[in-house]
């Protein structure tokens, strides 16, 4: 293990009155310091700014709900970062703030810039601290929650493990009194059946446990181990790194995905959609070696340019992949139409490379 992403929920960082729990921040920065001494780079994804902001705001009654969130974030963010800076400096460490929005990950150019900055901070022995920019993008226009942001950061930085710190000890079978904690979850589908018993809004912060399961599902599909633990308890990160059986562990389901395919699966924003035949959908799902060919395209939706991201789905509207289009939408529609009108003998003379709309190297499952 050489690199970890630690996501810290609002309920971990704040007390019941919404104010910062300085003890927790001190514990977490101490654990990051210990991890670095073991040669492990740590990237933080923090919540808490909005909660802290609300705790000190007094005259917000005239504001709408979205405005309250934005103002609270503007007030709380510097208070939150001041606490991190203070605790890191006590340990002789430097940290840096990165405020991100969903479009920062969706566009390839800004995504690569964000990745470069993060890598440069790590190279300079500076701990990056990510948070979503609620001031610039209100909640309904940005990440669904910081669990989603944490997965995007973990995928972007090719992390070995994503540690999600919540206010509960892990995933439980039904969250009723005496329920058993699930120590290892090999299949997210197995864990999902227990979640119908959980009241997300009261258990694990804004995103709830379902959000954490969604994050674990995506991260493990990209080759990243995930661990959910109780961030209120001192030493939780250190124990997880040491391999102690605390919290709930989700082992990676695949080998690490290449950086481009990780971006396609987790970060990229699609500009259009290609619906393929049942036959081609089956080939793509099972063989994992095929490109999207003209012969299997049934419908092209949206207007997109060459090299834009497109979703790949079946005729029923079920999306199972994303890829980079080799043509703009107009040329692709014309190419598919021309192909369908082509005599069988002429089709048989075409090389596969002449019929590719989305090459396999630029296609991934989602």
| pLDDT at residue 193, as a whole number | 60
Predicted confidence (pLDDT) per residue in 18-51, tens digit: 899 999 999 999 999 999 999 999 999 999 999 9
Read off the pLDDT band of 137 (50, 70, 90): low
Q: Are 240 and 229 in contact (CB under 8 A)?
A: yes
- Tell me: pLDDT of 362 over 80: yes
Compute the mean pLDDT over every residue in the chain, rounded to the nearest whole number. Answer: 88
**Which residue did the predictor score with more confidence, 60 or 170?**
170
| Helix (H/G/I), strand (E/B), else coil: 319 | strand
| pLDDT at residue 35, as a whole number | 96
Give the architecture (CATH level 2) of 270-365: Roll (2.30)
| pLDDT at residue 89, as a whole number | 97
| pLDDT at residue 207, as a whole number | 53
Q: Are 180 and 158 in contact (CB under 8 A)?
A: no
Read off the pLDDT band of 102 (50, 70, 90): confident
In the chain, what are the domain boundaries? 3-259, 270-365
Q: Which fold has domain 3-259?
A: Carbamate kinase (3.40.1160)
Average of pLDDT values for 150-161? 95
Average of pLDDT values for 51-74? 85
| Rounded Cα distance, 364 and 257, in Å | 9
| pLDDT at residue 204, as a whole number | 42
| Rounded Cα distance, 297 and 283, in Å | 13
Predicted confidence (pLDDT) per residue in 188-211, tens digit: 776 656 655 444 434 444 457 888
Q: Are 196 and 130 in contact (CB under 8 A)?
A: no
Predicted confidence (pLDDT) per residue in 211-250, tens digit: 898 899 999 999 999 999 999 999 999 999 999 989 999 9
- Tell me: pLDDT of 82 over 80: yes
In Å, what is the CA distance from 164 to each residue of 38, 70, 119, 184? 20, 25, 21, 15
Average of pLDDT values for 286-303? 87
| Rounded Cα distance, 282 and 294, in Å | 16
- Tell me: pLDDT of 266 over 90: no
Beta carbons within 8 Å of 8's beta carbon, 6+ residues apart? 28, 44, 45, 46, 47, 48, 165, 231
Average of pLDDT values for 77-95? 97
| pLDDT at residue 1, as a whole number | 79
**In terms of Cα–Cα distance, which of 248, 304, 283 is closest to 363?**
283
| pLDDT at residue 205, as a whole number | 44
């Amino acid at each position: 293990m050489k690199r970890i992403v630690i996501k810290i929920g609002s309920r971990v960082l704040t007390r019941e009155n919404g104010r910062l729990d300085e003890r927790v921040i001190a514990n977490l920065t101490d654990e990051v310091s210990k991890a670095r001494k073991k040669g492990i780079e740590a990237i933080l994804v923090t919540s808490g700014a909005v909660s802290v902001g609300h705790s000190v705001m007094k005259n917000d009654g005239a504001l709408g709900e979205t405005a309250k969130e934005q103002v609270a974030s503007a007030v709380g963010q510097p208070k939150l970062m001041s606490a991190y800076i203070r605790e890191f400096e006590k340990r002789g460490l430097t940290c840096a703030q990165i405020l991100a929005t969903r479009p920062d990950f969706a566009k390839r150019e800004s995504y690569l810039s964000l990745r470069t900055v993060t890598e440069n901070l790590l190279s300079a022995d500076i701990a990056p601290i990510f948070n979503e920019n609620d001031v610039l993008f209100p909640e309904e226009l940005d990440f669904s929650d910081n669990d989603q942001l944490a997965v995007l950061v973990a995928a972007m930085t090719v992390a070995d493990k994503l540690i999600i710190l919540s206010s509960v000890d892990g995933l439980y079978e039904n969250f009723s009194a005496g329920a058993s904690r699930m120590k290892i979850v090999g299949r997210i589908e197995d864990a999902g059946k227990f979640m119908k018993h959980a009241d997300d809004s009261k258990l694990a912060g804004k995103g709830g446990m379902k959000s954490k399961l969604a994050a674990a599902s995506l991260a493990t599909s990209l080759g990243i181990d995930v661990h959910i633990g109780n961030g209120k308890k001192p030493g939780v990160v250190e124990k997880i790194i040491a391999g102690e059986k605390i919290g709930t562990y989700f082992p990676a389901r695949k080998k690490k995905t290449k950086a481009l395919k990780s971006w396609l699966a987790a970060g990229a924003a699609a500009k259009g959609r290609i619906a393929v035949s049942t036959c081609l959908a089956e080939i793509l799902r099972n063989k994992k070696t095929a490109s999207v060919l003209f012969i299997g395209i049934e419908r092209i939706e949206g207007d997109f340019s060459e090299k834009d991201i497109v979703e790949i789905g079946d005729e029923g509207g079920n999306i199972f992949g994303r890829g980079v289009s080799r043509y703009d939408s107009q040329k692709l529609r014309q190419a598919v139409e021309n192909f369908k009108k082509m005599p069988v003998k002429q089709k048989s003379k075409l090389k596969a490379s002449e019929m590719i709309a989305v090459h396999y190297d630029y296609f991934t499952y989602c």
